[in-house]
Amino acid sequence: MARYNAKESERIWQSVWDGKQSFRAENNSTKPKAYVLEMFPYPSGRIHMGHVRNYTMGDVIARFRRAQGHNVLHPMGWDAFGLPAENAAREKGVHPRAWTYANIAAMRGQLKQMGLAIDWSREFATCDEAYYARQQKLFLDFFRVGLVYRAEADVNWDPVDHTVLANEQVIDGRGWRSGAIVERRKLSQWFFKITSFADDLIGALDGLSRWPEKVRIMQKNWIGRSEGMRFSFALRGAREPAIEVFSTRADTLFGASFVALSPDHPLVQNLAARDPKLAAFVAECRRLGTAEEAIETAEKLGYDTGLRAVHPFDDSWELPVYVANFVLMGYGTGAIFGCPAHDQRDLDFARKYTLPVLPVVVPESADASTFAVGNEAYTGPGRLANSRFLDGMDVESAKAEMATRMEGKGTGTRTVNYRLRDWLVSRQRYWGCPIPVVHCAACGIVPVPEKDLPVVLPEDVRFDVPGNPLELHPTWKQIKCPSCSADARRETDTFDTFVDSSWYFARFADTEAEAPVNKDAADYWLPVDQYIGGVEHAVLHLLYARFFTRAMHRAGHVSVDEPFAGLFTQGMVCHETYKDQDGNWVEPADIEKRSDGAVRKGTGAPIAVGPSEKMSKSKKNVVAPEAIIDTFGADTIRWFMLSDTPPERDIEWTQEGAEGCWRFVQRIHRLVGEAANLPPVGTPIGQIDGAALELRRATHRAIDAVTDDLANLRFNRAVARIYELANAIGTAGDTDGAVRREALETIVLLSAPMMPHLAETNWQRLGHSVLIVESPWPKADAMLVRRDTIKIGVQVNGKLRGEIEVAPDAEKALVEGMVMNLDSVQRDLSDKQFVKFVYVPGRVANVVAKIA
């Protein structure tokens, strides 16, 4: 019999599905809807194993839901704006547009080779004018409803590349590309008011029951809600206004030993204007950049302004006012009071500048008169001490008392503060969506009128000089003010690419719509029922998309607040690492494994095998999906990605594993091919017993288990159940024809979402004229899933002593009789005294006895 020709078969079925438009989603359907979405790829040029794993999982769910009778939306698009295209332009002289679309074409071809059940009619790229034009319209709508503003902000500025850098692009204080020392600069930037939804973005997390707990916690931490007090310190004998601070620990106010201002605090700016030393200190602080991690780990440095602050509860108590590098302008008010005994950063600072460290919270176990703080601040619970009217209270009561007193005097207010900052969306780059705004000397900021949209990127830009090509373009930014017609200047910033990916799922509902989002279609499809992607997007992308959905709701584009009802974060794809004797990384393709170890192909030089790590170019432990698909076909690589390892964990790619998958593909093909004399399709099953009945039971148990496993994304278990059915078919041998047909049809149907081409081929070989993608999911017969008799373990005092076979509903007394008659039980009980008999129906029987 001919072996299964995967290449040939896959090509054929892909073109059949394509010709029949098998995976088109209907916007009008009476079927239940299922929106299955994987995070869309950046068009880097070729797909990698991570894509294969991600899209295979999504495809299995999409095909499974389709077979179960759902109207499935499973689309694909391209997250196509971004810096790599500009880098390619600088390095290779190719235009970002040409580079990007060529990459998309190449990757589309590779994804199609995977045989994904995608509605390609809805495909788009975020760099398509049709898409970013609508994004500009959304921006104007957000502007209209008050969710957009422009403000000065601290940014990481690369003085060589003339651009703003994200925190992740600053490495050891230097620009990741130029290597120049990054400066902190104040620039006018565009912001989305994500903080106005902060409370709701936290509160709604509890309702996302089909999200991983881990992601919900990460988002909660990221938003960082904290309750505290806002109050002021007056300055003694100074003209300057009082310093307003925010603190979550107002209970420790009597332990205060200094007040500290952010280097970016307005008061500091004023003081620095007439104090060159302070100005120099501020400049020094700015060199740290804006990354919190850098600020946290840097040495705590301060500058004594000479000002003296007055304690809010004691007019005679003065505190020094410092400028400190660890105080962030963006958090709270940009000013704090320092209580060294109960805050580690304050303690580090106090030790450096020899300021008092007075404990005011004493743990229950310690003695208030002797309790002292060494090099570790005490942040735990306890009783207040050295704190006048707060003495003896616990921390929570003291906070409440402080709040009541301050609010009573009108000197402070309870405030909720967030770690989350508003979203800075402007980037000084070319390959992004232009922000549709005009700057006019007379009118200020003027949104581009909708009739003038889209603001299209110019094609004739140069990348041979540093800086923003839009800024450098000779004419593009010159425009008349839409409001007063005077000469004005176009905004040359483009959007952060996270904006592009914050609403694409809503566009998929209707990619032809004139409006950014077809509300009726979006109301039908949203929320996404199952979203799948890498955990690295747990915070930013998923938080931005949740914000955007709320903003779109407010602007009238959608009716939901949450974009993704179900979220699944899949693990990475790993591979062993290899090094030669000189310590150079070696690619898996150059390795040959022998019984005595790994060697380099050709030369036979010894190779050291290292641990399995995430596939990365730098470690050369990358296996190209194309090569695998070329050798074994798409079904084999898909089957591998689903087998053995639970989907949320990291999977290790191995050549042996891939070969094992390939053998199973062939085995199914052979099982179907070897099945001689099958009765025609639809032949009813008559009276059966013995091996035929056993096979039939195995078939229906497989349906039952695989259905449940796929519904819960337990792909590895579903795979194991299919192997079991294959083993059962092999064991059963040449039994009743109709039963064998049922078993074979079942294994083909159950494996179809995972190995769709193989399934289609064998479905046809079994005599079906309807495609398997148009065939319904099998149903398990409960009578056959249930067992007539079951084997249960017999224990004495919890130790296994034997096994008996009983009916699932056998009476306890009957089971007890059987158990007590077992020789092994009798032997064990010979020196013991019977106490009681425990029987868990269908599970276990346990004789409890004590030593006589």
Partner RNA sequence: GGCCCCGUGGUGGAAUGGUAGACACACCGGACUUAAAAUCCGUAGUUCCGAAAGGGACGUGCCCGUUCGAGUCGGGCCGGGGCCA
Shortest separation between residue 645's beta carbon and RNA, angstroms: 4
Q: Among residues 714 and 740, whose Cβ is nearest to RNA?
A: 714
Whole-angstrom distance, CA of residue 468 vs CA of residue 476: 12
Q: Among residues 517 and 651, whose Cβ is nearest to RNA?
A: 651
Whole-angstrom distance, CA of residue 746 vs CA of residue 762: 11
Q: Among residues 506 and 780, whose Cβ is nearest to RNA?
A: 780
Find all residues with CB under 8 Å of 465, minimum gap 6, and list them: 472
Shortest separation between residue 262's beta carbon and RNA, angstroms: 15
- Beta carbons of 359 and 386 less than 8 angstroms apart: yes
Q: How far is CA 536 from CA 541, 542, 615, 647, in A?
A: 9, 10, 15, 15
How many residues does this entry show for the chain? 852
Q: Which amino acid is at 1?
A: M
Q: Among residues 216 and 519, whose Cβ is nearest to RNA?
A: 216
Strands 71-73 and 33-38: what pairing?
parallel
Instruction: Output b/e per residue, 789-824; b: 16+ Cβ within 10 A.
Output: eeebebbbeeeebbebebeeebeeeebeebbeebee
Shortest separation between residue 482's beta carbon and RNA, angstroms: 41
Shortest separation between residue 47's beta carbon and RNA, angstroms: 22
Q: Among residues 678 and 844, whose Cβ is nearest to RNA?
A: 844
Q: Which residue has the tokens 């930013």?
A: 540
Cα–chain center distance at 604? 43
Whole-angstrom distance, CA of residue 601 vs CA of residue 209: 51
Q: Among residues 313 and 498, whose Cβ is nearest to RNA?
A: 498
Shortest separation between residue 296's beta carbon and RNA, angstroms: 6
> Which DSSP string do the residues of 532-579 spell out, in sequence order?
EEEGGGTTHHHHHHHHHHHHHHHTTS-S-S-SBSBEEEE--EEEEEEE
User: Residue 799 is encoded by which pair of tokens?
Assistant: 């130790």
Shortest separation between residue 575's beta carbon and RNA, angstroms: 13
Shortest separation between residue 660's beta carbon and RNA, angstroms: 3
Find all residues with CB under 8 Å of 306, minimum gap 6, and list them: 321
Shortest separation between residue 204's beta carbon and RNA, angstroms: 19
Q: Among residues 277 and 836, whose Cβ is nearest to RNA?
A: 836
Q: Considering only CA atoms, which of 533, 167, 163 is closest in space to residue 330?
A: 167
Q: Among residues 490 and 638, whose Cβ is nearest to RNA?
A: 638
Q: Among residues 133 and 838, whose Cβ is nearest to RNA?
A: 838
Q: Among residues 307 and 743, whose Cβ is nearest to RNA?
A: 743
User: Residue 217 is encoded by which pair of tokens?
Assistant: 């916690």
- Beta carbons of 387 and 401 less than 8 angstroms apart: no
Q: Among residues 235 and 719, whose Cβ is nearest to RNA?
A: 719
69: left (phi over 0), alpha (psi -120 to 50) or beta: left
Shortest separation between residue 616's beta carbon and RNA, angstroms: 14
- List residues near RNA by CB under 7 A: 213-214, 217-218, 221-222, 224, 292-293, 296, 419, 535, 539, 595, 643-646, 649-652, 654, 656-657, 659-660, 663-664, 666-667, 670, 714, 716-717, 719-720, 723-724, 727, 730-731, 790-793, 795, 797-801, 803, 824, 836, 838, 840, 842-844, 846, 848
Shortest separation between residue 123's beta carbon and RNA, angstroms: 32
